[in-house]
Amino acid sequence: MDFRKEFEVKPGEGVRLSKIDPAYHSAHGSESEAKQDLDHYKEKIRNLQRTLYGDRSKALLVVLQGIDGAGKDGTCWHVMSAMDPQGVKVTGFKQPTPAERDHDFLWRIHPHAPAKGEIAVFNRSHYEDVLVARVHDLVPKPVWEQRYDFINEWERLLHTENQTTILKFFLYISKEEQLERFKRRLYDPSRQWKISNADYTERERWDDYIAAFEAALSKCSTSHAPWYVIPSNHKWFRNLAVSQIIADTLEDMHPKWPEPTVDLDEIRKLYHSAEQGNEKAS
């Protein structure tokens, strides 16, 4: 199954998350059944990313968004672990600093866009400014409404000016699954550091966040920067779907190893001369 076709938000089409099953897991019945496919796509990512790094003519931006507990950190850990750290950078966007608030909302984002040859991963992103800002009335409605157009234009700039391919993933979990994950945080010492009072106060705004996500997905999924709604109640399926989409997209970018910048025949002569010198010395 091509998860790009399955989960893409078609440009111009509205999104109703209530019509999507967050517990969906395709034909794979379990994590063990999906492991072989996941390993295949991670290996594919590993090889293609190295070629992209050598090519240095294109870039890839991966945006991860989701309601609290959806698994943005886990997706970074499991999927991005397939990549060479030399060519990947992950940026998490928290609350803006006072200096960042004194600038336009994209000012703090743009420096983290990927250079050619790189993959950049945004764990939360510029979309916070039409999500949190909207839900909490941090700016007037006319301000955040205009930001959808600014976001689309900024993503178009990256795509056309710097040959950046953009993939945006909304990790979709149910309200019940979120509460179950909060419970695990309470009783698992390795997860307790993630606990925040905001987990529960923000949960009270669930419907407001869903409405904000639906608007962002509907208004900002374009041919050059598509959104994908990834059913994420099953973490293993989330990882599989994201991995396949990234792997297939990298393949479609057709990265190629660059031509050598030296005269290989001349270098071979130098090598053979050095090799003969070693043999005489021995």
pLDDT in tens, 131-172: 999 999 999 999 999 999 999 999 999 999 999 999 999 999
* Rounded (5°) CA angle 238-2-115: 70
pLDDT in tens, 163-220: 999 999 999 999 999 999 999 888 888 888 888 878 889 999 999 999 999 999 999 9
Structure tokens given for 167: 């993939």
Arithmetic mean of pLDDT over the chain:
94
Residue whose tokens read 């990927």: 114
Instruction: Give the whole-number percent of the chain exceeding pLDDT 90.
Output: 79
* Span 32-61, pLDDT tens digits: 999 999 999 999 999 999 999 999 999 999
Secondary structure letter of residue 254 according to DSSP: -
DSSP state of 160: H
C-alpha to C-alpha distance for 81 and 256, rounded to whole angstroms: 22
Q: What is the pLDDT of residue 42?
A: 96
- Sign for the pseudo-dihedral over CA of 27, 33, 35, 37: negative
All domains in the chain, ordered by first residue: 3-281 (3.40.50.300)
Residue that the structure tokens 């003519």 belong to: 57
279 versus 8: the higher-pLDDT residue is: 8
Closest by CA to 80, choosing from 242, 230, 191, 199, is 242
Q: Which of these ranges, 111-120, 175-184, 192-201, 233-242, has the smallest mean pLDDT? A: 192-201
Per-residue pLDDT at 277 exceeds 80 = no
Q: What is the pLDDT of residue 52?
A: 97
Q: What is the mean pLDDT of residues 243-261?
A: 95
Q: If pLDDT is split at 50, 70 and 90, which confidence band does 246 have?
A: very high
What is residue 49's predicted lDDT score, i.e. its pLDDT? Answer: 96
Quickly state the pLDDT bin for 229 (edges 50, 70, 90). very high
**pLDDT in the model for residue 32:** 94
- Report pLDDT for 253: 97
What was the pLDDT predicted at 282? 66
For the segment 108-126, the average pLDDT, to the nearest whole number, is 97
Direct distance between the N- and C-terminal alpha carbons of the chain, in angstroms, rounded to an integer: 59
Q: Calculate mean pLDDT across residues 79-106.
A: 93
